[in-house]
């Protein structure tokens, strides 16, 4: 079992930055694909970014490409999401997710392929 805890959310003005962290416990995540998803009120959960176990493949949603950066520090058992140039439409609860099966990288655009999920952290971007 892997437990994931997100942190770093908060209230920020448009154009600002936040860095989200996802700390894992229970098992080392070095062999896990890690992803970030978000869910705004009244909307479905949507893919934000993912990084494969090796870090060799990194995926981004078109809406965040060029603004957000996903990274991992396996020594700290932590994954990060650096969010720059934030927009009001980035407002959502952000969730961290993990999967150990080393599926084809394209699978990790989809929430259904992740086994472990955190509880989420709220990000609010004011205009």
3-class secondary structure, 14: coil
Asked whether residue 56 carries a pLDDT value surpassing 90, the answer given is no
Between the CA atoms of 122, 125, 126 and 127, what dihedral angle is there, to the nearest 10 degrees?
A: -160
Percent of the chain as helix, strand, coil, to the nearest 5: 10, 50, 40
Model confidence pLDDT, tens digit, residues 5-29:
999 999 999 999 999 999 999 999 9
Model confidence pLDDT, tens digit, residues 79-107:
999 999 999 999 999 999 999 998 999 99
């Amino acid at each position: 079992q892997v437990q994931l805890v997100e942190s770093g959310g908060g209230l920020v003005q448009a154009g600002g930055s936040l860095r989200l962290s996802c700390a894992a416990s229970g098992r080392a995540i070095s062999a896990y694909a890690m992803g970030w998803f978000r869910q705004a009120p009244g909307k479905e959960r949507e893919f934000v970014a993912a990084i494969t176990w090796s870090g060799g493949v990194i995926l981004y949603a078109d809406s965040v490409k060029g603004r957000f950066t996903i990274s991992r520090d396996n020594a700290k058992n932590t994954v990060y999401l650096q969010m720059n140039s934030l927009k009001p439409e980035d407002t959502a609860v952000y969730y961290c997710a993990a999967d150990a099966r080393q599926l084809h990288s394209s699978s990790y655009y989809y929430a259904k392929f992740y086994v472990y999920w955190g509880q989420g952290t709220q990000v609010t971007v004011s205009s």
